[in-house]
Amino acid sequence: MSLASLIDELNPQQKQAATTAHQHSLVLAGAGCGKTKTIVARAAYLIDQGISANQIQILTFTRRAASEIVARVELALGEQAKGLRASTFHTFCMYLLRRIPKAFGLEQFSIIDRDDQLMMFRLIRGKDDKKNPSQLPKPQELCDLYSFARNTRQKLSVALEKQQPEYLAFKDQIAEIMQEYESRKRARGFLDYDDILAVVASALAQSEGLVDYVASICQHLLVDEMQDTNPLQWALLEPLKDRVSLFCVGDDAQSIYGFRGADFENIHHFTERVPNAQIFKLEQNYRSTQEILDLSNWLLDQSEIRYNKHLQAYRGDGIKPKMHIFPNEFDEAKWIAIDIKERHFLEGAPWSDHMVLVRSSYAARHIEAACIAASVPYRFIGGMKLLETAHVKDLLSLLRVIANPLDDIAWMRFLTLWNGVGDVGASKLAQQLLLEPTMDKVIEKLEKFGRLPEKMLLIMKQMDVLRHEVAACVGLGIEAIQEQLAENYKKDWNRRQSDFQLVQQLAGKHAQLSEFLEEYVLDPVSISEIERQSDTDVVTLITIHSAKGTEQKVCYVANVTAGQYPHARAQGSFDDIEEERRVLYVALTRAQNELILTKQNFNLWARDTVDEQGRKLDSYFLNDLTRQLCTMETHHHTRQQTVKSALVERQAINLDFGIDLD
């Protein structure tokens, strides 16, 4: 593919955006309107205009999105595109921190992940006494609060009021814990996930020289998913906007990460923050039929926020969305599973043509149970990240102490894996190990400690020698601890064990152990990302927050019931309710051919209210849904599989009644 053919594939709106001469641009791209295609075309166009590929930096939210954009530009331009950088915000900041550490006042530092943060907060906060339980927030709550305050750049008192108002009375004690946490980080040379951005943002705001340097290595910043950026990420971009060109792409109607600190205003008020920026709109949708878009457009039109988004289907008309109403969640889940099954056996539709969208992992449990009962093969996307699962974190703790023997948090986790080693003993030993000058001395001390198997200690010596051969080092680490882990996780060890092969695959791409550890702390690979790549014919069960960027022929949006859209916890807050509206919008716009909604409690009618500014607060988004937009059917009886599909299913199974008579 050449640049000419890439540009030829664009519609007039996309072409205008990709080839603009404006310094700053915001592309508002509706769902399915070719957002990625436009950002790829923009990068290719700039390179074709004589901008060196290494002067373009693309910022994305996932490693997968970054590599996809680069691959597509390279496909169009070949060698010309070599040097094009695409990375997550965190990886870009890490690149700067590692390249010029002195500009940030850093010499030696290690990256700590969320588990490490929890451990530190746990140690600082202290344990709850059974007789006198602490009234302070739990370590996890402290961790969430700290991160929210950093990402939204708010005072602790404001963050407390928004996130955990029940703890406002303990603000001073919480502030002391946070202060101690920051002191310990500094003393140990630790940077947490949020520090990586905050340190760079702060230095950019204070140093003209650093702004000059960043502007010298990237003339053009292309930002994907602008609606998901938070105030801290904006603080990185703001000092650069007078020195570089910004090309930001996003959809204000898909801003659904407010709970993580994402700032809807970054995209909605872009022109106020970046004067003279040109706004482009992409409204030609290539994914869905017009009937699906009519319902999605209607949902946004009910809002007091002016989205002004009216997507038009390139594909034309199709099937009207359907709403199915059930007496309870069990009947609802069973109906979904059997409906998919009937489509598969009677219409010959592949399992993989079907996607079921749910609010959360918890909300998926009934549908999972129904799929299992009906023998419908499925995969669930939206759960844990591979490198955040407990057994993989255990392996990483061993790899971390090999890479950095001064990592006391990793020592704590590693030592407590072994039988007979508790928190107190591990903590005392870890402090002693930090004083030893070499790994040989560390292992001598561990021998004297006497709790770790001899085989483990021998392998640690080998790992220390092979620390620059990452895949070999990881293989030895697995060999060293798998017996103990099999005992620690005996309930589901078989399932967990297979994850280690994936870790080895990921490790094999790196030359340094520390590089591997750092990269995957910054951007843990989601199990779902690995599963997404599989070719197996299965139904996809997915959380809406994991579904952005995905699409499928037939989509079921489960439990669109009053109290769920918007969720009851959003009631009373205009901003929260509007984010809930956008969550539902994301779900509706995943469907290509058929959109099926299911709900319960069909007698419940919710009442709208207004806030203190006179803005309407929707209590249920689908109260005024008309039959012009969606057909409705109420089910009073539990759905059963038809005889015909059962016969087809039986024929597909080869039952074994005999022996091999050869």
Residue 548 has a CB neighbour count (10 Å cut-off) of 19
Residue 207 to residue 204: CA distance in whole angstroms: 5
Helix axes 408-415, 423-433, angle to 10 degrees: 140
pLDDT score, position 61: 85
pLDDT score, position 532: 47
**334 and 327 Cβ atoms separated by less than 8 Å:** no
**HSE (side-chain half, CA atoms, 13 Å) at 611:** 16
pLDDT score, position 520: 64
- Three-state secondary-structure class, residue 640: coil
Fill in the DSSP letter of residue 154.
Answer: -
Residue 179 has a CB neighbour count (10 Å cut-off) of 11
Q: Which two tokens stand for residue 84?
A: 């094009």
What whole-number percentage of the chain has pLDDT above 70?
Answer: 92
Consecutive 10-residue runs of the chain (662 residues): their mean pLDDT?
Answer: 83 95 93 92 94 95 87 91 92 90 82 84 73 76 92 92 89 93 88 92 93 94 92 94 94 79 80 90 95 95 85 94 93 95 94 94 84 88 66 89 85 90 84 88 91 92 88 91 91 80 76 75 50 70 88 96 86 87 94 96 64 77 88 89 80 64 62
Q: Going by C-beta distance under 8 Å and a sequence separation of 6 or more, which residues neighbour residue 501? A: none
Residue 3 has a CB neighbour count (10 Å cut-off) of 17
pLDDT score, position 388: 63
Residue 347 to residue 395: CA distance in whole angstroms: 47
pLDDT, tens digit, 9 for 90 and up, residues 573-611: 888 898 999 999 999 999 999 999 999 875 555 567 777
Q: Going by C-beta distance under 8 Å and a sequence separation of 6 or more, which residues neighbour residue 392? A: 386, 499, 500, 503
pLDDT, tens digit, 9 for 90 and up, residues 201-248: 999 999 999 999 999 999 999 999 998 899 999 999 999 999 999 999
pLDDT score, position 491: 81
- Please report, as a single letter, which amino acid is at residue 100: I
pLDDT score, position 24: 95
pLDDT score, position 531: 44
Alpha carbon 621 to its chain's center? 26
- Three-state secondary-structure class, residue 28: strand
Q: What backbone phi and psi angles, to 5 degrees, belong to 381? A: -120, 130
Q: List the strands of the sheet with 631-634, edge to edge.
A: 378-381, 539-543, 354-358, 552-557, 591-600, 322-326, 631-634
Gyration radius (Cα) of the chain, Å: 27
pLDDT score, position 603: 54
